[in-house]
Structure 1
């Protein structure tokens, strides 16, 4: 599952990036970053896929994901009266490597970052402490926020209960072939989601039958081909609503819909708010 490469917007005058996202539900397909990513998921239950490893999510689930490691996350159940909350920190490999060279006190971080190539799961109490640090620091000047990041890195080092999300099971030739097909299918949809692509189109691309395509999606994603395509389109729409000022009718066209009423209906079912409400609710995030 190679996943599409997401570009992390950089803050002027800052060496790292922090974002807090609060939304009605959470369904992000396979993606990756050039940066390290720390993600803390709160107030919902679901599934997180990191590489070929699946993690059950509960409150204060916290993972460290290495550069270019594909990952995906899906919410299954949100706490009553709450919304999905995610705290995300990104930092570049070159930057953290130089920081460790300059600050010998951070030497223990080297192994943690090495393990991040497989994903690292941290303790819920550490996640809670980090959230409190981030909430207290995000309105402070940039140099004081950096001190908060140092505190976060220290908490990572001190967590003795962290574990690596590795998969020691040898992959059979059949499994490896399936994984390759899933990666190619995902890449195909990421490239052509804005077009009228069908399961038959994908079957021809993969040189398999249409029924095999449908079984592939049901087995790997536990959802149909059409559901997967819809999620990709709506996730791209969410990104455009959050990070651009494009009119909604143009976003509808760019993500492959030819009927705005249908788009609005599917978007509200997926995110539990209208596209306009989603854009308004995420305006504060764009400032981060």
Structure 2
């Protein structure tokens, strides 16, 4: 998928940035940041795309997104709500890593930051607690503001109901722990750039300098599905985004996402979304 890089303006004299956004609808196409992002969506229903993971948004939907990870957020146009409320926190990778390196108490947060390369979702209870901490944060003196951020980090660490959006693989004999994230990122980049082509497991294995059997194990452990299943989901998720945000003919969308014929696309799409592409577009089309 293609995404735009959004620059986050830094607050002068502050190590992090917080913004509360209220608007009638949410319609944020694919974008990414150089910073870590914590986002809490409240008082509306919608759809959230993070990487190639798709989930429904309900009140107090809270996620941690790593630097460079594409994501998109849409509210349900047909729902009746007063406004869409989002609380967003950004902080730089270099800054938080320096804090962890110099503060032993923050070491547990390192694991969450590692998992954030795929996205993490937190419990609604944690989301509500974080929103309460943020209620008057911008009116507080700088020392209290940074203290509040560390309190928020402690809540994320303590959340026993948080969930990685994609399970990380465990090391195999061919892949060392230090190279796991590199292989995963390289795989995601390759698939995001080539999903519309007729690519094979062998081509990916050659790209990663791995054997086909090792790539199969990587998909089973990390993505919990086969290469072909994962590639199909990528194509269908991109098709969902195009149906939702463009007026392109379905025949052109099929071509753009790499399906070989319309009958196969319609069959796979309905199995995945439980509706036809036409019905999906009619129910989610944004104005």
TM-score by length of 1: 0.63
Count of paired positions: 220
User: Mapping of 1:99-248 within 5 angstroms?
Assistant: 99-166=99-166, 168-173=223-228, 176=231, 179=234, 219=277, 222-223=280-281
Aligned-partner Cα distance in 2 for 1:79–1:199: 26
**1:53-109 deviations in Å (ceiling 9; x for gaps):** 111111111000111111111111687563110000001111100001111101100
Change in 2 beyond 3 A, CA 1:21/1:157: same
Q: Which moved more, 1:174-183 or 1:8-17?
A: 174-183
Offset at 1:4?
Answer: 1.3
Instruction: Say if 1:120 and 1:164, in contact at 8 Å, map to a contact too.
Output: yes
Give the equivalent residue in structure 1 for 2:30. Answer: 30
Report how far residue 126 of structure 1 moved.
0.8
- Cα distance in 1, alignment partners of residues 56 and 153 from structure 2: 24
Query: 1:47 touches 1:76 (CA, 8 Å); kept in 2?
Result: yes
Give 1:50 deviation, angstroms.
0.9
SS in structure 2 at match of 1:107: helix
Does the 8 Å CA contact 1:45/1:77 hold for their aligned counterparts? Answer: no
Q: Which moved more, 1:65-74 or 1:138-147?
A: 138-147
Whole-angstrom distance in 2 between the partners of 1:157 and 1:148:
14
- 1:27-66 matches, within 5 Å, as 27-66=27-66
* d(CA) in 1 for partners of 2:279, 2:128: 30
Return the alpha-carbon distance in structure 2 between the equivalents of residues 79 and 35 of structure 1: 32
Kept in 2, the 8 Å contact 1:45–1:78? The answer is: no
Deviation at residue 137 of structure 1 after TM alignment: 1.4
More relative contact order, 1 or 2 (CA 8 Å, 6+ apart)? 1
> Is the contact between residue 130 and residue 152 of structure 1 (CA under 8 Å) also seen in structure 2?
yes
Q: Report deviation, 1:223.
A: 3.1
Q: What is the TM-score of this pair, normalised by structure 2?
A: 0.64
Question: Distance in 2 between the 1:122 and 1:181 partners?
Answer: 26
Offset, 1:178 = 8.0
CA RMSD of aligned residues (A): 3.8
Report the 3-state secondary structure (helix = DSSP H, G, I; strand = E; otherwise coil) of the residue aligned with 2:127. helix
Distance 2:115 2:278 in 1: 25
Q: Is the contact between residue 238 and residue 257 of structure 2 (CA under 8 Å) also seen in structure 1?
A: no
Query: SS of the residue aligned with 2:139?
Result: coil
Are the equivalent residues in 1 in contact too, given 2:48–2:73 (CA < 8 A)? yes
Q: Which residue of 2 aligns with 1:89?
A: 89
Name which of structure 1's ranges 70-79 and 142-151 shifts more when overlaid on structure 2.
70-79
Deviation, 1:2, is 3.9
Aligned 8 A contact 2:43 2:84 in 1: yes
SS of the counterpart of 1:64? strand
**TM-aligned CA deviation for residue 171 of structure 1:** 4.9
More deviation, 169-178/12-21 = 169-178
For 1:100 and 1:67, how far apart are their aligned partners in 2? 17
- Provide structure 2 residue ranges, at least 5 long, that are not aligned to the other structure: 168-222, 270-275
